[in-house]
Amino acid sequence: MESIDVLMLCPMISYLEQELQSRYNVLKLWTAQEKSQFIKDHSATIRAIVGDGGHGADAEMIEALPRLEILSSNSVGVDKIDLEKCREKGIRVTYTPDVLTDEVADLAIGLILAVLRRLCESDRYVRSGKWKKGDFKLTTKFTGKTVGIIGLGRIGMAIAKRAEAFNCPICYYSRTEKPDTKYKYYPSVLELASNCQILVVACSLTAETRHIVNREVMNALGPKGVLINIGRGPHVDEPELVSALVEGRLGGAGLDVYEHEPEVPEELFGLENVVLLPHVGTATVETRKAMADLVVGNLEAHFSNKPLLTPLV
């Protein structure tokens, strides 16, 4: 049986690497001395690419692989993939929706609570050995606060459901109003930010949504408002975010993503009203395994001419 060449763009959990290696001939791009040469050397045989949220295929890479049939992304975000090019060339693209929805929504709430209730700062305080009897610090209650969600897709809805259990009124912005929800719709992110206390970015990254949270929006959210980003770094104008936080125009932020990961603006390291996570939205053993199974399952379906499990293109 002919061995199929699969190009892996970056290291992933060992479970996924093993599952791929047991079925295909895996070419690890990150081990190459010179990446474009590596691709040239194998361009006649690569039939599939496995990427993730941070590593996709642009037009150049797609053009360099004439035998490419499918790109299976270990993510639900596909902003790093030139989808138009794939459509043009008839290349299938699969991703991992649904299996990670709950995980990301859980983390959004975890970030809200950590920022509002100053968990990380408190934990640092105790570990410093400085806790004195009678000391207390006022933090902010979560229950009952208005939560505004940018993007009411799968993840946005899951966040809303959880926030409702804390008696939070929910409002949202979406490209179009959703007729079958009871949540309050605002036709612009600016209006949404003016009417909520906690603003959560939960939409996909496209040309239209780049910097959807800008200086104006952050000012509208205000000195008592909190921004939570579990989408993509470029959703937020990062330099503006830093100055809004440092100057106190924005009350706080919980960030899982940044414009230039893994670089994080150092000005944020000294702030107590900020929680900084290293892009761990889906980072649990259970969910990474479920995602991996989808990545492999889609490849298997494709190469045995069965319907793809979770196609995007």
Partner 1 sequence: MATKDNEVEDHRPLVLIHHLPSFKLPLQDRLITHFRLFDSLASPEASSVRALICVGPTPVTADTLDHLPSLRLVVGSSAGLDHVDLAECRRRGIAVTNSGDANSENVADYAVALLLDVLRRVSAADRFVRSGLWPQMGEYPLGCKLGGKRIGIVGLGSIGSEVAKRLVAFGCTVAYNSRNKKPSVLYPYYANVHDLAVNSDVLIVCCALTNETHHIINKDVLTALGREGFIINVGRGALVDEKELVQFLVQGEIGGAGLDVFENEPNVPKELFALDNVVLSPHLAISTPESFEALNEVIIANLKAFFLSKPLLSPFQQE
**Amino acid type, 227:** L
The single residue among 4, 26, 32, 120 that binds partner 1, judged by CB under 8 A, is 120
191 makes contact with partner 1 (CB under 8 A):
no
User: What distance in Å separates the CA atoms of residue 11 and residue 73, rounded to the nearest whole number?
Assistant: 13
Q: Cα torsion at 264, 265, 267, 269 (round to 10°)?
A: 0
**Residue range at the interface with partner 1 (CB under 8 A); choices 48-56, 193-201, 258-266, 298-306:** 258-266
114 makes contact with partner 1 (CB under 8 A):
yes
61: Cβ contacts below 8 Å, ≥ 6 apart: 39, 49
User: What distance in Å separates the CA atoms of residue 79 and residue 233, rounded to the nearest whole number?
Assistant: 11
Q: In the complex with partner 1, which residue's Cβ is closer, 29 or 70? A: 29
The CB density around residue 124, as the number of other CB atoms within 10 Å, is 12
The single residue among 25, 64, 125, 154 that binds partner 1, judged by CB under 8 A, is 125
Q: In the complex with partner 1, which residue's Cβ is closer, 4 or 276? A: 276
**DSSP conformational letter for 4:** P
289: Cβ contacts below 8 Å, ≥ 6 apart: 13, 15
134 makes contact with partner 1 (CB under 8 A):
yes
109 makes contact with partner 1 (CB under 8 A):
yes
131 makes contact with partner 1 (CB under 8 A):
yes
The answer to whether the beta carbons of residues 156 and 203 sit under 8 Å apart is yes
Q: In the complex with partner 1, which residue's Cβ is closer, 64 or 290? A: 290
246 makes contact with partner 1 (CB under 8 A):
no
Annotation says 261 is catalytic: yes
The DSSP-derived string for 123-135 is HHHHHTT---TT-
**Residue range at the interface with partner 1 (CB under 8 A); choices 79-87, 195-203, 274-282, 300-308:** 274-282
252: Cβ contacts below 8 Å, ≥ 6 apart: 115, 116, 225, 226, 227, 245, 273, 274
The answer to whether the beta carbons of residues 308 and 33 sit under 8 Å apart is no
Q: Report CA 63 to chain centroid distance, whole Å.
A: 27
The single residue among 247, 285, 304, 305 that binds partner 1, judged by CB under 8 A, is 285
Query: CA torsion sign, 113 to 244 to 217 to 175?
Result: negative
Q: Which of 261, 267, 272, 300 is catalytic?
A: 261
**Residue range at the interface with partner 1 (CB under 8 A); choices 43-51, 66-74, 221-229, 276-284:** 276-284
166 makes contact with partner 1 (CB under 8 A):
yes
**Residue range at the interface with partner 1 (CB under 8 A); choices 46-54, 115-123, 212-220, 292-300:** 115-123
133 makes contact with partner 1 (CB under 8 A):
yes
138 makes contact with partner 1 (CB under 8 A):
yes
The single residue among 154, 276, 311, 312 that binds partner 1, judged by CB under 8 A, is 276
The residue ranges that bind partner 1 (CB under 8 A) are 11, 13, 102-103, 106-107, 109-111, 113-114, 117-120, 122-127, 129, 131-144, 161-162, 164-167, 261-264, 266, 269, 275-278, 280, 283-288
